[in-house]
Structure 1
Amino acid sequence: MYLPALDCPKYDLKATVIKRFCQGTKRTYLSADWFGVGESTGDFAQGTVTRWTADTIKLIESLCPDSKMVLVGGGVGGWVALLVALQRPDLVAGIVGLGADPDFTENLLWKHLPEETKTEIMEKGSSQVTWGIHQYPISRALIEDGRRHLLLGGPDNGLDIMCPVRLVHGLQDEEVPLDVPLSLARRLRTQNVQVLLQKSGDHYLGDQADFALIKTALKDCIANYYEYDLTSPGSG
Structure 2
Amino acid sequence: MQTIARAGNKLAYRFTPGIGPGLVFLGGFKSDMQGTKAVALEDWAKRKGRAFLRLDYSGHGESGGAFADGCIGDWYQDALAVIEAVTEGPQVLVGSSMGGWIALLIAKERPERVAGLVTIAAAPDFTEDGFWRDFNDAQRAEVMEQGQTLLPSDYGEPYVITKRLIEEGRARLVLRDPLPLPFPVRMVQGTDDASVTTTTALRLLSHVTCDDIRLTLVRGSDHRFSEKDDLELIRRSVVDVLKRLPD
Normalized against structure 1, the TM-score is what? 0.89
SS of residue matched to 1:22:
helix
Q: Which residue of 1 aligns with 2:121?
A: 99
Q: Which letter maps to 1:45? A: A
1:63 alignment counterpart:
86
Aligned to 2:209: 189
Letter in 2 for 1:171: T
Say what the alpha-carbon RMSD is for the aligned residues. 1.5
Pick one of 125, 140, 162 that aligns with 1:139: 162
Shift in Å, 1:124: 2.3
- Native 8 Å contact 2:121 2:196 kept in 1: yes
Report the AA paired with residue 26 of structure 2: L
TM-score, length-scaled by structure 2: 0.86
Report Cα offsets for 1:132-184 as digits up to 9, x if no partner. Answer: 77742211111111111212235xxx212211111110000001111111111
8 Å contact 1:35–1:44 — kept in the other structure? yes
The CA distance in 1 between the partners of 2:160 and 2:131, in whole Å, is: 12
Aligned to 2:189: 169
SS of aligned partner of 1:137: strand
Whether the 8 Å CA contact 1:131–1:175 is kept in 2: the answer is: no
Q: Which amino acid aligns with 1:161?
A: L
* Structure 2 residues without counterparts, runs of 5 or longer: 1-23
One-letter code aligned to 1:30: L
Alignment partner of 2:51: what SS?
A: coil
Q: Percent identity?
A: 32
Pairs within 5 Å for 1:65-214: 66-130=88-152, 135-154=158-177, 158-214=178-234
Task: Note if contact 1:45-1:141 (Cα within 8 Å) is conserved in structure 2.
Answer: no
> Structure 1 residue 120: deviation in Å?
1.7
Structure 1 CA distance, aligned partners of 2:152 and 2:186?
28
Which amino acid counterpart does residue 40 of structure 1 have in structure 2? Answer: S
Look up the SS of the partner of 1:149 in the other structure.
coil
CA distance in 2, matches of 1:117, 1:138: 10
Aligned to 1:47: 70
Instruction: Output the CA distance in 1 between the equivalents of 2:79 and 2:51.
Output: 16
- Other structure's SS at 1:127 match: strand
Q: Distance in 2 between matches of 1:63 and 1:107?
A: 33
Instruction: Kindly indicate whether the alpha-carbon contact (under 8 Å) linking 2:57 and 2:79 is maintained by their aligned counterparts in 1.
Output: no
Give secondary structure in 2 for the equivalent of 1:200. coil
Q: Is 1:22 paired with 2:45?
A: yes
Higher strand share: 2
- State the partner residue of 2:36: 13
Aligned residues: 223
Does the CA-based 8 Å contact 2:33-2:39 persist in structure 1? no
